[in-house]
Each structure stands twice: as structure tokens, then as C-alpha cells.
Amino acid sequence: MTREVQIIPFGPGLAEGVAAACSELGWPSYADPDVAARGCSAPGVTTRVALADQAVVGFAQVLSDGVVQAYLAQIGVLEPWRRQGIATKLIEAAFGACGAQRVDLLTDDAQGFYRSFDHKEKAGFRIYPG
């Protein structure tokens, strides 16, 4: 049985679904619908959402200058929906809409997935000022 998934731009009506997905994924920062609504629609942010039967099953958030640089800030797909190409479609849709020429990201455990894209591997840091 093939389950149809739509990839659509984030809109205010999707904030609760994104927050619920974040909660299920164990990501407390965006588990509040108000935070999800503001963060997914902030200036310079492109968010794409995967819907199945009108329920959010994943999303991707890209921060970009709209010209050259972009950063994949979040990508998440709920467990029952993984390994169906949804994450790839989300990344491609968000990147295609953000206007940048390249996208950078950090990962602790998904190197194999990201190597499936045309890429260059580089070392990186996450800095916590203050």
C-alpha cells in the first residue's frame, strides 16, 4: 500500500502539527505551537512540511540569505514514515525555495543519508556564546 505524502510550504495552520511532530521526535524547543509558528515563518526561513491524510509527518527548516548561503536547521520525519524518500523531498523542496546556491548542515548520526546528495564534507563547530 502506497501512502500519499504532499510537500507544501509552512503556513500558520500547520504550527500545531509541526509542534506535535517535534514533541514526538523529542525536540522540546519547537514543541510549543507558538514557537513553531514564529520559528518556521521568521524572516529568512523557508519551511516545508510533509502531510499525509492532512497530518504533519515531517518538516524541514532552512535558514538562508536567499542568495548564496543556506543552513539546514531542522529536518525530521516521524518514525513510521521514514525510509520512503520524504526527508530527501523535504530538503530538496526547502532548498529549492530558499534561493541559495548551497546548504550547510551539522549531523551527529546521519552522515550516510547526507552523503547521498551531491556534497563536500567539511569539519564544523557549534558555538554556544556567553
| Residue 127 confidence (pLDDT) | 67
| Residue 109 confidence (pLDDT) | 79
Q: What whole-number distance in Å separates Cα of residue 121 and Cα of residue 123?
A: 7
- Per 3-state DSSP, the chain is made up of helix, strand and coil in percentages (nearest 5) of 35, 25, 40
pLDDT tens, residue order, the chain (130 aa): 357 999 999 998 999 999 999 999 999 999 999 999 999 999 999 999 999 999 999 999 999 999 999 999 999 999 999 999 999 999 999 999 999 998 888 878 777 667 777 777 777 776 677 7
**Which three three-digit cell numbers place residue 73?**
536547521
Report residue 12 CA to chain centroid gap: 16
Domain boundaries, the chain: 6-114
The dihedral built from the CA positions of residue 24, 7, 61 and 115, taken in this order, carries a sign that is positive
| Residue 1 confidence (pLDDT) | 37
CATH homologous superfamily for the domain 6-114:
Gcn5-related N-acetyltransferase (GNAT) (3.40.630.30)
Place of cell 543556506: 70
Whether the pTM exceeds 0.85: the reply is yes
